[in-house]
Structure 1
Amino acid sequence: MNRVAVAYADPVDAEKAKTIANQWGFDYIGDIAAAVNFPELEFILQVNIQRLELIKLDEPKLGAIAVDFVSGATAHRRKFGGGRGQDIAKAVGLKHGFTPCVLDATAGLGRDAFVLATLGCNVKMIERNPIVAALLQDGLLRASLSNEVKDITDRMTLMFGSSIENMTDEEDIDVVYLDPMYPHKEKSAAVKKEMRVFQSLVGEDLDSDALLAPALQIAHYRVVVKRPSYADFLAKKKPSTSIKMKKNRFDVYVNKAIPKPTV
């Protein structure tokens, strides 16, 4: 038994749970109640009313994590996030007349990719952790059934694999976006639920410095790296400029200037 298994909350979701387990190579245990029989399990991927959720078994009060592009915080940001005035929009170079094709090489749960797709970008995503990729794929599939966001998520594509190995295969990429995991200074109790779960699931991206060189090689215009405000530059390489926020910053590495509008 691996550290993660797939289960269902209700038998109506059994077939979907089996399909996910087979696709991603996870163990399938059936009813989530069976988790007590597998003390080695750390996480459960639970199908709950057709939605895939991640549960950290030793911290049940943290609740479930799922990708939801239709409602909740994602919907609020889509409607009220500030459009092209957002810092991430400035970082990738969104200007009147120019909407870049972006490669999000550290996709995670796809939230920043969704913001960029909302603003009109075509976003190719790469995620190497199979648990995270399974959650993201499930969120994209459910969003494709929603008339409210389908046109947005249609601009998002997901590849499962290592970005370090797969960035060389990408073409027509205007901007590469990187947001590697970085250890947080705050005590664990102060870090929000989702980040605590991800720190234990994924850990720090110890090879993240190796992302910058291939990113710079394939990006036509720029590479954008999201970092905590206290973190070192990726690969200790000074960026062309930085956009600073309260707790984070975007380091921007410019290959060449973004074309000016022709009109």
Structure 2
Amino acid sequence: MSGVDDAALVLRHEEGALVLAGDPARYGKPLRIDFAEGRAAHRRRFGGGRGQLIARACGLAAGVTPSVVDATAGLGRDAFVLASLGAEVLLVERVAQIHALLEDGLARAARDADTAEIAARMHLAHGDATRELAALVAASDIAPQVVHLDPMFPHREKSALVKKEMRLFRELAGDDDDAPRLLEAALDVATHRVVVKRPRKAPPIAGPAPQHVIEGKTSRYDLYVHRSLKS
């Protein structure tokens, strides 16, 4: 966790949704999670289906829809994509404020006709995956065929991560200095593969080398494969 002053960030309700708000000059608009509208809705309709990088990396293919543990849930966008494609997903989030936003976003998605079925495949847990992943998975109904990781990468000032929304998120979550331990925990839990999202030119997480890499324009997925996913 970073040294952010929690008093500077406040959870409150606005227009029927829970939001996390701070100084607008520093953080911009209050942060809310909305799976039914905005960016999530656009990606659900036009994102490219199972041809998307994350879907390919997690092994979603014709006749193959693995269960996924998103051990770094964040704002839930990757988990929502996977659930919209039919996967059962366990979202693990360690930051209490972000977990609260996810809980609220999922509750609203469950009440929306367009997203209710997707939200029913998204199961939320609060905990630190570096230390509690096995216990959190055991307490759920999700068989962890695939574990997806998107650890926070130390940023440069020119990075897109200085956008106000991500500045707020980063100050709460901090950098994932324990990413090697997180990878180790994921490898212990996943029955088939671990998928790690990285900036395209960043080094892999310290530890075993990935067996496969899927590259996009700005990011890539490092794959650590135990066994093949089959229909």
Common fold, TM-score beyond 0.5? Answer: yes
Q: Hey, what's the Cα distance between the residues in 1 that align with 2:201 and 2:183?
A: 19
Other-structure match for 1:46: 12
The within-5 A match list for 1:1-263 is 3-4=5-6, 41-57=7-23, 59=25, 62-169=28-135, 170=137, 172-187=143-158, 191-259=162-230, 261=231
Q: Is the 8 A contact 1:178 1:225 kept in 2?
A: yes
Q: Is the 8 A contact 2:27 2:165 kept in 1?
A: no
Listed as ranges, the gaps of 5+ residues in structure 2 are none
Q: Hey, what's the Cα distance between the residues in 1 that align with 2:41 and 2:77?
A: 11
The one-letter code sitting in structure 2 at the alignment partner of 1:253 is: Y
Q: Is the 8 A contact 1:42 1:58 kept in 2?
A: no
| Count of aligned positions | 223
Deviation, 1:166, is 2.3
Q: Is the 8 A contact 1:44 1:57 kept in 2?
A: no
Moved over 4 A (4+): none
Q: Percent identical across equivalent pairs?
A: 46
Moved more, 84-93 or 199-208: 199-208
The one-letter code sitting in structure 1 at the alignment partner of 2:22 is: K
Q: Is the 8 A contact 1:117 1:155 kept in 2?
A: yes
CA distance 1:237–1:137, change in 2 (3 Å): same
Q: Is the 8 A contact 2:27 2:167 kept in 1?
A: no
The one-character-per-residue Cα deviations of 1:67-90 (angstroms, maximum 9, x if unpaired) are 000000110000000000101010
CA distance 1:194–1:61, change in 2 (3 Å): closer
Q: Hey, what's the Cα distance between the residues in 2 that align with 1:213 and 1:188?
A: 28
Q: Hey, what's the Cα distance between the residues in 2 that align with 1:126 and 1:107?
A: 5
TM-score by length of 1: 0.80
The one-letter code sitting in structure 2 at the alignment partner of 1:102 is: V
Q: Hey, what's the Cα distance between the residues in 1 that align with 2:21 and 2:214?
A: 35
CA distance 1:239–1:190, change in 2 (3 Å): closer
CA distance 1:188–1:62, change in 2 (3 Å): farther
Listed as ranges, the gaps of 5+ residues in structure 1 are 5-40
Cα RMSD for the two superposed structures: 1.8
Other-structure match for 1:17: none
CA distance 1:137–1:190, change in 2 (3 Å): closer
The one-letter code sitting in structure 1 at the alignment partner of 2:173 is: V
CA distance 1:69–1:189, change in 2 (3 Å): closer
CA distance 1:188–1:196, change in 2 (3 Å): farther
Q: Is the 8 A contact 2:26 2:164 kept in 1?
A: no
